[in-house]
Amino acid sequence: MQYRRFGRTELSLSNFSLGTMRCLSSPQVFYQTVNRAIELGINHLETAPSYGRSEEYLGLAFQRGIPRESVYVTTKVLPTINSVSADAEIRASCQHLQTDYIDCVAIHGINTPEHLTRSIEYIVPELQKLVKQGVIGHIGFSTHGSLDLVLQAIQTGLFEFVNLHYYYFFQRLAPAIAAAQAQDMGVFIISPGDKGGQLFTPPARLMELCQPYHPLSLTYRWLLQDLRVTTLSVGAAEPEELELPVGAGSESLSAEELMVIDRLQAHLETTLDTDFCSQCHACLPCPEDINIPEILRLRNLTVGYEMADYGKYRYRMLENAGHWFPGKRGHHCTECGDCLPRCPQQLKIPELLFDADDRLKSGNGRRLWDH
């Protein structure tokens, strides 16, 4: 395990962090998973009031003998308008966690301009008071917002770290990594194994293209060789799920790894040919609020790498997860044509959206918690 400075928090975090939203089948499994994470060198645990009984089980794990001082703990507060005060939320979290100090608090999902305004005007000032009182250590945020919104939030200078969705298969937020570094912020990558492509269970095509590497190992390597990234979260459901990830090193990518990454990109472009969406986002806005780039990203991955299960998992969240996954599905396209002249690839966007909808629709499903 390697450790990196978490930006200007000056904490030294392990390259991997344990996200504790999945190891909740019992307090025993939770304890064993945390214990194994610590044995492997993980020193950062991430929880939230909205992760079911995660805070409570972590409090029990501390009671049962996990030394509180052996780990840094991050929990969250919501920026929504009807949430209770941040002060009350943090004090409730301290009670659940059976601790009087929380190392890091992230505002949970600055996903809209209203969330950012509320954070700046109310939540950050409340949290800053708690920092002065010694109840919490550092303030950051997580987000599902647009690139512009993420950049605005970073540029306020109010936050010491950011929790981002940034993966090999989703590089839209690359400028946010650079902006965070310019502000000397820590960068925590949210669940690259799952949200970054469901890479614990990759399709055969992707496995074959990544040979001799496992797609999960390759994605961890791709992230960790970027020294601007501090730590990657692993949402293990049980201790055994921690073994593969923590084996990934953080040295520069080897010639063979670079060759595999080039092969992945070349295969995507060749397979999609004239249907390849470059993810430039120039097609937006759509009057029907269709999330064109995200739908075509999922189509890219489904056609190119046979990542249909991942595509369905994410597509299902459109129209089901509010501001956590905004925009409408492809079948709402009225073929108005507004987006067409804006697409530098001259893609037949309506046709591709209907095709993506056919490939990816699979009922509404219940939304899994998504940071």
Instruction: Give me the residues that bind ligand SF4 (CB under 6 A), please.
Output: 277-283, 286-288, 290, 292-293, 296, 333-339, 342-343, 345, 347, 349-350, 353
CB of 272 to ligand SF4, least distance (A): 11
Q: 209 near 270, Cβ under 8 Å?
A: no
Choice between 235 and 330, CB closer to ligand SF4: 330
SS3 assignment, position 229 = coil
- Between helices 124-132 and 86-97, what is the axis angle to 10°? 50
DSSP one-letter string for 312-362 = HHHHTTTTTSGGGS-SB-GGG-----TTGGG-TT---HHHHHHHHHHHH--
| Identity of the residue, 226 or 338, whose beta carbon is nearer to ligand SF4 in the bound complex | 338
Q: Which residue's CB is nearer to ligand SF4, number 248 or number 292?
A: 292
How many angstroms separate the most distant Cα atoms in the chain? 62
CB of 164 to ligand SF4, least distance (A): 20
**Closest separation in Å from C-beta 340 to ligand SF4:** 7
Q: Which is nearer to ligand SF4, 97 or 360 (CB)?
A: 360
Measured CA to CA, the distance from residue 164 to residue 176 in angstroms comes to 9
When the beta carbons of 238 and 288 are compared against ligand SF4, the nearer one is 288
Rounded CA-CA distance 137/145 in Å is 25
Tell me the two tokens of residue 46: 């991430």
The CA–CA distances, whole Å, from 361 to 123, 157, 324, 325 equal 38, 41, 19, 16
Strands 12-14 and 3-5: antiparallel
Compare residues 127 and 296 and give the one whose CB is closer to ligand SF4.
296
CB 301 within 8 A of CB 310: yes
Determine the Cα–Cα distance for residues 161 and 123; give it in Å rounded to an integer. 16
- Minimum CB distance to ligand SF4, residue 278 (Å): 4
Q: 85 or 334, CB closer to ligand SF4?
A: 334
Angle, alpha carbons 270-275-277 (nearest 5°): 95
In whole angstroms, the minimum distance from the beta carbon of 285 to ligand SF4 comes to: 8
Q: How far is the CB of 281 from ligand SF4 (least distance, A)?
A: 5
What are the C-alpha distances in Å from 51 to residues 24, 44, 295? Answer: 9, 16, 27
CB of residue 282 to ligand SF4, shortest distance in Å = 4
- Over the Cα atoms of the chain, what is R_g? 21
Cβ closer to ligand SF4: 39 or 335?
Answer: 335
193: its two tokens = 């194994």
User: What is the smallest separation between the CB atom of 294 and ligand SF4, expressed in angstroms?
Assistant: 9
- Measured from the CB atom, is 11 or 277 closer to ligand SF4? 277
Give the whole-angstrom CA distance, residue 313 versus residue 365: 9
We find the least distance from the C-beta atom of residue 265 to ligand SF4, in angstroms, to be 15
